[in-house]
Chain A
Amino acid sequence: MNDMNPSKLLQRELMGISAVWWREYKVFWREKSRIVSSIVQPLIWLFLFGSGIGASLSVENVHYRDYIYPGILTMSVIFGSVFFGLYIVWDRKLDVLKAVLVAPVARISIFFGKVLGGCTDVLLQVMILFAFAFLFPAVDLQGIPQALLLLLVTSIALVSLGLALGSLLESLEGFQVISAFLVFPLFFLSGALFPLDERLPSWLTGLVILNPLSYTVDGVRGALLGMNRYPFWADLGIVALFALVMLVVGSVMFSRMK
């Protein structure tokens, strides 16, 4: 038994990470109704809300529906990621996690497997939404790889956040609280639905600037519409820093989870 061999240990941990990842991927494709609703909901925002407001409003000569396309992509990343992470409350309630947590795999590997699984789910949803991009004339398809990169980093941050909160929560009742006091404010304060200009009240501008997700929206909007306030690398840097902090917080909380 060569237990002390570091490369063998690493290999085992990597296999553990891939095990959890593999499980999440399986589950994703099995829950067809969840996929459908995660695609339909943003499309409703774009075509019903966006077209409605867009009838009387455009931003810098871009149709409002096209203008919010980057914001709605970010929205589906926010909701998909945070709720994916929070879902471990349910897993714990059903004892699904119990068998995984007693395996000879470090907690942190299980955490990383979950993060990878969540990002994969969310990015698959985003790719399906990109398939509709041709319906938005202002969107530059060449910006998709940049947008995807930024959304991936955002998803890493938010799945970690969701897992951190899910490690703390005892029951599903906390979902509503987190939804109302965290997820919705994060979304509305990201500038997903409105431009950050001098007409905004200053308190609102301040909150938007403090929200790390504003930089996701800005970067994606820059990549797809060319309407950014900051350079892409600056947006990416801020979001990456946010992701790093959340990975640390999430892995610590997850390791302490009972």
Chain B
Amino acid sequence: MAVIETRSLTKTFGKIQAVRGIDLSIEQGEIFGLLGPNGAGKTTTIGMLCTIIRPTAGRGIVAGFDVAASPTQVRRNVGIVFQDPTLDTILTGRENLQLHARLYGIPAGMRALWIDEMLALVDLKDRADDLTRTYSGGMRRRLELARGLLHRPAVLFLDEPTLGLDPQTRARVWEYIRQTARKENTTVVLTTHYMEEAQQVCGRVGIIDRGKIIALDTPQNMIDSLGGDIVAIRAESPPLDRIRSLPYVSSVRMVDGVMEATMKSAHLHLAQLLPLIPGVQSVEMRKPTLNDVFMKLTGRDIRDDNAADSGSWAETIARYQQRGQ
């Protein structure tokens, strides 16, 4: 049974179309990733599914309830971990969970037990009675994860759960997410722009760009659809058309002056390929990632899009400097 079902889910803010008609069906127990650059509509989509944002049009059913018509019932059945930390730092870890337990109507007799269980699950038993302001970034995230799961929701929403954490902590947080989802058979819907991590954790991913889902599949199928490994060759003037016509090459393109060819069994074909290209300076071979999938679909690099924030700063400064001239 699908635990989340959406039909043309849409949100417009004034003139801006943040989400332009999303159709999704997510099964119980899935770990589903919404991937895409900043501003693609990931957070807005999640916001609508957990009833923080009211859809402009379309329908969303979560855990059997309509997000627009029965928000309270939806809220009771979902857990949320926001992008920005939302712990009450003047309370201890345990008190944060106690507050949450009361807000979600967990009966008094069960509270202490459930809280202890969750604290154990995220390895925070020793620090449970310290103020959360003394916690590290990774500990805070783990506590938020525990909080999101405390009332045993059918669906756990995680918005960029590893943003701002160092790589080692990120890996651990993913491990907790995987563990808990398996243990409780909770459906997890997460957003991230760390493509490599999504690839490891998610059973299925939807790539979202400019408010629309442009691909929906398992990470492996998406990567396989690219047609092989990627060989990046830096050379003076690679004969692109010639290479493209080779039977074992699926596609060729130029990225920042480097030729990237996708081909089957690259390790076997490289020896045949190289003599065709004059003036080779460097050769690199790698397995494709979801980022390559995104690039193929949009012609853009997801990391460039995420760097766009700083770009707009530079533009603003440039405009500011030209202002007086």
Contact = CB atoms under 8 A, between A and B. Distances in A.
A102 B91 contact: no
Interface centre among B75, B89, B102 (most CB of A within 10 A): B102
A94 interface: yes
Contact of B105 (A15, A94, A95, A102): A15
A18 B101 CA distance: 12
A53 to B, nearest CB: 39
B52 A102 contact: yes
Contacts of B84: 95, 98
Contact of B99 (A1, A22, A94): A22
B210 interface: no
Contacts of B89: 94, 96
Interface string B257-286: 000000000000000000000000000000
A11 B52 CA distance: 23
A100 B103 contact: yes
The A contact surface, by secondary structure, is helix
A3 interface: yes
Interface in A101-131: 102-106
A99 B100 contact: yes
Interface string A1-38: 10100000001100110111011001100110000000
Interface residues of B, number: 26
Contacts of B80: 99, 102
B78 to A, nearest CB: 9
Interface string B91-124: 1000100111011110000000000000000000
Interface of A: 1, 3, 11-12, 15-16, 18-20, 22-23, 26-27, 30-31, 94-96, 98-100, 102-106
Interface of B: 50-52, 72-73, 75-76, 80, 82, 84-91, 95, 98-100, 102-105, 147
Given A22-B99, A102-B80, 15 more contacts: A1-B73, A11-B105, A12-B105, A15-B105, A16-B102, A16-B105, A20-B103, A22-B102, A23-B99, A95-B82, A98-B86, A99-B147, A103-B103, A104-B103, A104-B104
